[in-house]
Structure 1
Amino acid sequence: MANSVVLTEEQPHFFHDVTEFFNRAAQFTNHDVGLLNQIKACNSVYRFQFPIKRDNGELEVIDAWRVQHSHHKSPTKGGIRYSEMVNEDEVMALAALMSYKCAIVNVPFGGAKGGIKVNTRDYSVRELENITRRYTVELIKKNFIGPAVDVPAPDYGTGEREMSWIADTYLTMNPGQLDALGCVTGKPLSLHGIAGRRGATGRGVAIAIRECVSVAEDMQRLGLTPGIEGKRVIIQGLGNVGYFSAKVLVEFGAIIVGICEYDGAIYNEDGFDPDEVVKHRNETGSILKFAKSKTEFGSPAEGLEQPCDILVPAALENQITEANVGRIQAKIIAEGANGPTTPAAADAFVDGGRRMIIPDMFCNAGGVTVSYFEWLKNLSHIAFGRMDRRYTETANMNIVNMVEGVTGASLTDEQRKIIVKGASEEELVNSGLEDTMIRSYHEIREVYVSNDKIPGLRTAALVGAINKIAESYKNMGIWP
């Protein structure tokens, strides 16, 4: 066992920030101190090290973590992050956010998170596979993974490939377990993943933004017209979350005026096509020198400060701080990343309700929502829509034929195809995601408007999450 991580004053205390947000919300609840302390504490923190053999024959010791924040629901759920910046404080904070996130969107999981301290660019595919499989074995040995125990998912630095390695390792170590594939989500379709999972977090961010700006009363207070059409958006981070957020926002009618990446930022008030920017980056290795960019910035931080209506930080935590929040021109921050805004910066930005933050614990919950659907699919052993799609099409066809016979009208083949069509798995998943995000937003807003002392949507979201988790503990008989 390695020495515990020591956080210096220069390092952001991410878990401290999450706890501070929690404490602010807790004062608007009526639960006793003991129960509140139980809700915010990390129940299990597993820190471990293991060796791997590099391609050059050298041995290297890898630092890794898995944190289960809350056991008020089983299994616990949360991604695995591969980053050289990973530390225990960060993993604890992300696990806590997962507990609150699941409660906010009514997904029946406790929160968890994992991390491996590696820079994926420094390792070959074979080395990354060895790291992932060994990490999984270590979790299995301590009963920190399983479809009814703890279910990992992708996060920063991981994706379908890593989830496949985890699933295969778990299957190998648990032969004959009927629900073994439910041990991890974010798998490729070929390994019983679910359609729509890859873009789920970004799509959820876009739906959250669209729902927020549709409330005329709130937009009037911010000096914005209601509706997503024509809203100017800056995206920070063109990874999985940022790309799909941008793509779906464009489909909704928004304009992506700025994109920030680690090596700089581009800006054009006329807007960008996310697919064109990604194609340029794939060809050149950078978003800079994109032909349709009118202004470029060598500093990605400068890109955040350009004129826009909505800023979507979709990279890493602590991107908006006291040092730069005063230069942010957006009226709304939609937190696609986890913890991108520090507590002090959040207070300064909201500034008495003249601006809004759509909090991470709701805004980026699309991923865990669709992960829940994938987990259900793995436990039921059948794809969504498989049983009823053809039946729905036949029933719709009978209705169309009857209406045409009675009215004498005749539909074109294209019209008939649209009306008759049964829902695919991806359409059902996207429908479930949209319903979840819309319902959850209005739950949060109802808490917010019901108490004029609640300072913003983040506190309102946490108040709702605390109440739901507290109710679960009380139903377990732990608290009267």
Structure 2
Amino acid sequence: MFVAVHCLQAHVCCLTDFATEEHEPKFLKAVEMFFDRAAKYSDASEEKLKHIKSTDSVLSVTFPMDKDGKTVMIRGYRSQHSRHRLPCKGGIRFSSEVDLQEVEALSALMTYKCAVVDVPFGGGKGGIMIDPKDWTEAELERITRRFTLELCQKNFIGPGVDVPAPDVGTGAREMGWIADTYRNFNPQDVNGTACVTGKALSLGGVRGRTEATGLGVYYGVREFLSFPEVQQKIKHHGNIEDTSVIIQGFGNVGYWASKFFEANGAKVVGIVEHDVAAYNKDGINIEQLSLWRKEKGSFKGFPDAQIIDRPMSLLEAECDVLIPAALERQIGLRNAHKIKAKLIGEAANGPITPGADEVIRKNGTIIVPDLLLNAGGVCVSYFEWAKNLSHLRFGRMNKRWDERSKGQLLALVEGNAGRPLSEVERRQLIHGAEEHELVYSGLEDTMIVACNETRQTAIEKNIDYRTAALTNSINKIAISLTGSGSIFTHA
């Protein structure tokens, strides 16, 4: 049974005494601090580094909405951090915590994220400063469509300009409203469906997009656990089977990550939510917990786990892998010294502050950074965007051809092998890939390549994985900028 630890280690007081802006900066400053740390190891010139680091464009809009007979002013933002590749790409979140700095920080992370996994997009991000729970569905639709009109009028949306996606507080429903508004505003754009990703299948979405970020988290953690140097440092057997996992956040990313870990033999021993946490040292049945929360609205009363009223304390429990999949700045100097996980996989954006990052790494815990680990969403968004531009479902042209070719080869083998296959065996062997299987395959390959590139840089330069991933991103962006030259000067 999990027991929360309330005592502080003596040396920690020294750390928290220095929890100033320098050590616990706001989100945008934290991203810039991580960038500066990686820039020292990059091959980019000072001029290129200044270009890469700065935000290209930011849109801030306000518009009135009627709420219960009163006028409420709604504020929204869209940041285009880098247009070295087009379109810009990044989600739109609905949250009362949205502000300009957060949007700029997230758009910068998107730039580096796309580069590290070789997705040809620049970084963007948007947000509307509302709590979705305070508004009806009809009101949310009006807000979403009005914000989309603002983006259209300011040229901040379009298949070749800027392509939003779901984020905190938004989903396929909001993306459908955005796509419909854009098409009505641009009826001549035959590629208008590609103005946004994360859509429902009926509106041009791609199979596998919903679970993409969580699946990417699983692939990334699996790859890092397979590295001999990681196994040696954290004293782990290297297999997903029997690996204990604690996940903070049970939204789309946390839910799907937990599902994939569980399906591949890991023990998901803890799930942390904003109000309570659930813990079972023998593993939690994820589907049962999900159904309970849907019915009851909370984990409270769930019979097959210990319910913890101080949910954040579960982040400090012993486990092999800790997955922060909620919001930014969840682990800071206030709790970094208490973390006992062997490996932290950042499924959320910016869940660890710079000061906490240093403390955690000094204590021997490996951190797999957000810009690499949660890139599954933008990878599959790229696939959806490409599908929309081609106007062709993945697998449509080759599925039957592949099955016929495999069938012919199988008939030849059967003729010489002496044992006929059963119908079930035959179907399994000649099965042609469906769209979601191709998406999974493309995502898995992308994550494997990016993880190994990050590992190689970390080994060559003797640096941590976050710095290595950012270094790779900076170098790739710098090469792109150098190759394109400038219409103004070549000095």
CA–CA distance in 1 between the matches of 2:231 and 2:321? 12
Which residue of the partner structure matches residue 359 of structure 1? Answer: 369
CA–CA distance in 1 between the matches of 2:397 and 2:185? 32
Instruction: Give unmatched runs, 5+ long, in structure 1.
Output: 1-7
Aligned with 1:297 (options 289, 308, 326): 308
Deviation, 1:16, is 0.2
Which residue of the partner structure matches residue 455 of structure 2? Answer: 445
Deviation, 1:79, is 0.2
- In the TM superposition, what are the counterparts of 1:49-448 in structure 2 within 5 Å? 49-54=62-67, 56-293=68-305, 295-351=306-362, 354-448=364-458
CA–CA distance in 2 between the matches of 1:30 and 1:285? 51
Identity %: 49
Residue-by-residue CA offset, 1:58-109 (whole Å, 9 max, x unaligned): 2211010000000110110000010000011100000000000000000000
Q: CA RMSD in A?
A: 1.4
Residue-by-residue CA offset, 1:192-221 (whole Å, 9 max, x unaligned): 100000000000001101111011222111
Deviation, 1:288, is 2.3
Do the aligned residues in 2 keep the contact of 1:216 with 1:225 (CA within 8 Å)?
Answer: no
Assess, with a 3 A threshold, how the Cα gap between structure 1 residues 58 and 186 changes in structure 2: closer, same or farther.
Answer: same
Do the aligned residues in 1 keep the contact of 2:55 with 2:80 (CA within 8 Å)?
Answer: yes
Q: Letter of the aligned partner of 1:307 in structure 2?
A: E
Secondary structure of residue in 2 paired with 1:225: coil
Residue-by-residue CA offset, 1:276-317 (whole Å, 9 max, x unaligned): 111010111111221111x32212211111121110000000
Deviation, 1:12, is 5.4
Secondary structure of residue in 1 paired with 2:405: helix
Aligned with 2:472 (options 461, 464, 473): 464
Aligned with 1:19 (options 18, 27, 32): 32
Secondary structure of residue in 2 paired with 1:49: strand
For this pair of structures, how many residues does the alignment match?
Answer: 468
Aligned with 2:481 (options 466, 473, 479): 473
CA–CA distance in 2 between the matches of 1:57 and 1:174? 32
Secondary structure of residue in 1 paired with 2:245: strand
Deviation, 1:113, is 0.1
Q: TM-score, normalised to structure 2's length?
A: 0.94
Secondary structure of residue in 1 paired with 2:485: coil
Do the aligned residues in 2 keep the contact of 1:12 with 1:318 (CA within 8 Å)?
Answer: no
Secondary structure of residue in 1 paired with 2:407: helix
CA–CA distance in 2 between the matches of 1:228 and 1:465? 28
Which residue of the partner structure matches residue 47 of structure 1? Answer: 60
Which residue of the partner structure matches residue 7 of structure 2? Answer: none
Secondary structure of residue in 1 paired with 2:44: coil
Residue-by-residue CA offset, 1:144-178 (whole Å, 9 max, x unaligned): 00000000000000000000000000000011211
Structure 1 segments of 4 or more deviating over 4 A? Answer: 8-12
Instruction: Give unmatched runs, 5+ long, in structure 2.
Output: 1-19
Do the aligned residues in 1 keep the contact of 2:197 with 2:385 (CA within 8 Å)?
Answer: yes
Deviation, 1:253, is 1.3
Do the aligned residues in 2 keep the contact of 1:214 with 1:228 (CA within 8 Å)?
Answer: no
Which residue of the partner structure matches residue 10 of structure 2? Answer: none
Residue-by-residue CA offset, 1:357-391 (whole Å, 9 max, x unaligned): 00000000000000000000000000000011011
CA–CA distance in 2 between the matches of 1:194 and 1:30? 37
CA–CA distance in 2 between the matches of 1:333 and 1:287? 24
CA–CA distance in 2 between the matches of 1:118 and 1:220? 46
Deviation, 1:407, is 2.3
CA–CA distance in 1 between the matches of 2:311 and 2:107? 28
Q: TM-score, normalised to structure 1's length?
A: 0.96
CA–CA distance in 2 between the matches of 1:356 and 1:245? 19
Deviation, 1:32, is 2.1
CA–CA distance in 2 between the matches of 1:28 and 1:408? 60
Secondary structure of residue in 2 paired with 1:84: coil
CA–CA distance in 2 between the matches of 1:306 and 1:290? 20
Secondary structure of residue in 2 paired with 1:385: coil
CA–CA distance in 1 between the matches of 2:345 and 2:411? 47
CA–CA distance in 1 between the matches of 2:215 and 2:133? 27
CA–CA distance in 2 between the matches of 1:90 and 1:152? 16
CA–CA distance in 2 between the matches of 1:257 and 1:275? 14
Q: Letter of the aligned partner of 2:429 in structure 1?
A: I
Q: Letter of the aligned partner of 2:56 in structure 1?
A: N
Deviation, 1:35, is 1.2
Secondary structure of residue in 2 paired with 1:329: coil
Do the aligned residues in 1 keep the contact of 2:25 with 2:353 (CA within 8 Å)?
Answer: no
Secondary structure of residue in 1 paired with 2:124: strand
Secondary structure of residue in 2 paired with 1:48: strand
